[in-house]
Amino acid sequence: MTPRPTHLPRLTLAASLLALLLVAGLFAVDLVGARQRHLDNGIRQVEHHGRMLAEHVARSLDSVDILLAELRPQISELRPWWALPLEEGHALLHSRLGSALPQVRHLIVFDAEGRQRLTSFSATPPPINVRDRPYFIALRDGASRSRYGPYVGRNSQRHTYALAHRLDFPDGRFAGALMAAIEPEYFESFCAATRPFDEFEAALVNAEGRIIGRCGPVPGNGIVRAAGEDYRKVLADGSFATRMLDRQTVRAESESHYLGSAPVPGYPDLRVVLSAPRERLLAQWREHVRQSALLGGLALLALAAAGLLIHRQFQAIGRFTAELKAHQENLESRIQEATAELEERRRDAEVMAEAKSRFLAAASHDLRQPLQALRLFSGQLGQPLDEAAQRVLRQRIVQAVEAMGEQLEDLLQLSRLDMAKVEPQWASVQIDQLFDKLAATYRPLADAFGVRLSFSRHRQQIHADPVLLVRLLGNLIHNAIKFSPHGTVLVCARWGVGDSTRIEVRDNGAGIDEKYQKAIFEEFFQLRNRAREAHAGLGLGLSIVSRIARLLDSQPELRSRAGAGSTFSLRFDAPPDTPEDAIDEVPQTRLLLIGRTGTGLRSFAQRATEWNYEIRAAVTAAEAAALLARERMIPVVFPDPKRQDGEELAALLAAHPGIVIHPEGADLDRRGPYHLCLPLKPARVRALLRSLQPASPPEIGPTP
């Protein structure tokens, strides 16, 4: 039946208006709910970080307490401290300090009268008496352990937190105190290095609410000196200064800030108090509001346009009612699809945010270990050390730098692969030559692990990127060697389906349980490194293998079971209509060496020539700038502390990314984006040069 034209236009307008109001209401409800969800998620993130800081403080104090418990019988029973010469007592205390306990500033022994007798920092300590200190009074009154702080140490004139154990004579009388002066800066540095965002504040406070150590949003490293102050007057811009917050208060909120706390396990008088601005916790929600407002406006506009179109259709003539209805149904379907797509994108955004959080948590945890060690070691450089201690300190610094460098190199490779900055350079690869390169590179590593590394020769060719293929197979071989100590690793090529070739890396190691065979290709998954130790890497090797395999149109396959070894295999196609004797012509890359001979330049030039690089040379920054203006080259700078064109050289490196190579321990400005320290590692130098010229990487040969 034909609708009556006098009523249907009005009904259409009413329905359109109702739909607009309904959509607007749904968007409003979604935004209100999303605000609370984002706020709750932000608070959970801050509270989780507070618990992590509290656990770190507990572990650090437990380590110091164990040290004092171990040291007490050594100086009171086995070797009585009151009979030790000052020099020998100082040596004993000093020997117990090191990188394992960076939170300890000093170890000190006081006699029963509170006089300072033995210290770890001096054989002849200054005459200081601590009989008025609360921790000493508690020990003198019968306590076996005590702690106190913050207070200003009379030796260091810096804020300190003390852990002390009672010392007794053989007859049980009070003999004195063994005290460890805790360095609050250790906790502050750890907090500043792990803050989830810049506006985050945290403070370690005692039972009176006095700050022991704090980190907050300030320029520099995030460390704020506020020891001894009431945390309510310092945190959250003082917005909780007038509020009564006892130790039972776990969470509090003001108009501008959120405040939470986490108890330090095992230390009931200590807790970690943390705060964050509400605006920062709702930053993601505001972005969600902007996106939703845009999409909601478009949806409302579409609905308004649809209502107007329907209204005009009904006004025209009743015989088009059926067609108009079909248009309306189609429009509703499109709105549902758009809403479903919006919901799917929102879910994808949440999944990506969660993955990013896991990535940053794992990376910050693994990189924090060598970075924290470097900070502590660098702090010891200013202290007077004998030659043996200097050698040990240098060795530990080198180990920490190497561990962090290897981890950063893995992260850089993973980042370049994820950001699609690597384009495969397809070529015909001779498998025999490929195996020769891999053998020359990894046989020394296999010998070091006591592993027999063998290659099954094969004269066929495959179609792949030779540089990416060496990196992919190298990661698999390195893993096989590392997890097959005193075993055998076999690399072989087999005929595949059709004209394809299957390359396999086999080992007879411990094997991989079936339930882990998919997870091992994920980032930061380490089957045998649950403690996340820095020397064991980040767990990115097989993730990089998976990404490179996708770039090469292949897929890694795994055959393994627990106790029976593992076999990783990849399939590659034959070269497309390429003769067996075809040779790829790789364009030669030019290096511009800037500096004077005698600074390592000559030996570097000789090695770069062996790597198939063409060499240019310049002495001054002006000469280098003139050469770089005429042709594209990678600058390699050998700095001389006496040179006068430092600013020009820095400007040149800012315009032309390059490498700065300097002697170990040189006091130079860190000019340029990349710095390498002598002696050089050839493999790292070549990898860095290839990253600076990704479009035309140089030919890879055996690593010298």
Task: Locate 55 and state its tokens.
Answer: 């656990």
- pLDDT at residue 238 in the model: 82
**pLDDT at residue 2 greater than cutoff 90:** no
What are the tens digits of pLDDT across the range 128-141? 999 999 999 999 99
Strands 590-594 and 614-618: parallel
> How far apart are alpha carbons 163 and 350 in whole angstroms?
45
Instruction: Indicate the pLDDT class of residue 684, thresholds 50, 70 and 90.
Output: confident
Q: Of 36-45, 504-513, 563-572, 690-699, give the lowest mean pLDDT range.
A: 690-699
Torsional sign, CA 344, 349, 353, 359: positive
**pTM of whole model > 0.75?**
no
> How far apart are alpha carbons 418 and 523 in whole angstroms?
12
Instruction: Specify burial of residue 56 (Cβ count, 10 A radius: 0-12, 13-18, 19+).
Output: middle
Cβ atoms of residues 276 and 258 within 8 Å: yes
Instruction: Indicate the pLDDT class of residue 312, thresholds 50, 70 and 90.
Output: confident
Instruction: Specify burial of residue 190 (Cβ count, 10 A radius: 0-12, 13-18, 19+).
Output: buried
Task: Locate 620 and state its tokens.
Answer: 């001054």
What is the average per-residue pLDDT within 29-58? 82
Task: Locate 330 and state its tokens.
Answer: 């189609």
- Top CATH class, 427-572: alpha beta
> How far apart are alpha carbons 273 and 271 in whole angstroms?
6
**pLDDT at residue 473 greater than cutoff 70:** yes
- pLDDT at residue 701 in the model: 37
- pLDDT at residue 325 in the model: 82
Instruction: Indicate the pLDDT class of residue 613, thresholds 50, 70 and 90.
Output: confident
Mean pLDDT of the chain: 76
**pLDDT at residue 531 greater than cutoff 50:** no
What is the average per-residue pLDDT within 405-420? 52
What are the tens digits of pLDDT across the range 449-468? 888 999 987 767 888 888 88
What are the tens digits of pLDDT across the range 196-240? 888 888 889 998 889 988 887 765 444 556 788 888 888 888 888
What are the tens digits of pLDDT across the range 326-385? 888 888 878 888 888 788 777 756 655 554 555 555 555 555 556 666 666 676 666 777
- pLDDT at residue 599 in the model: 59
What is the average per-residue pLDDT within 74-99? 79
For the chain, domain boundaries: 79-182, 427-572, 590-692
What is the average per-residue pLDDT within 487-498? 80
CA 219 to chain centre: 21
Mention every residue, 6+ apart, whose C-beta is less than 8 A from residue 327: 309, 310, 313
Q: Do domains 79-182 and 427-572 have the same CATH topology?
A: no
Say which residue, 98 or 442, is predicted with more confidence: 442
Q: Which residue do the tokens 């418990």 mark?
A: 69
Task: Locate 311 and state its tokens.
Answer: 């209204």
Give 541-603 as a DSSP string: HHHHHHHHHHHTT---EEEE-TTS-EEEEEEEPPPTT--TT----PPPPEEEEES-TTSSHHH
> How far apart are alpha carbons 90 and 409 in whole angstroms?
43
Q: Which of 18-27, 226-235, 244-253 has the highest mean pLDDT?
A: 226-235
Instruction: Indicate the pLDDT class of residue 145, thresholds 50, 70 and 90.
Output: very high
Q: Where are the beta strands (DSSP E) in 120-210?
A: 145-152, 159-168, 174-182, 201-205
Which backbone phi and psi does 83 adopt, to 5 degrees? -100, -5
590-692 under CATH 3.40.50.2300, yes or no: yes
Say which residue, 519 or 532, is predicted with more confidence: 519
- pLDDT at residue 222 in the model: 47
Fold for the domain defined by 79-182: Beta-Lactamase (3.30.450)
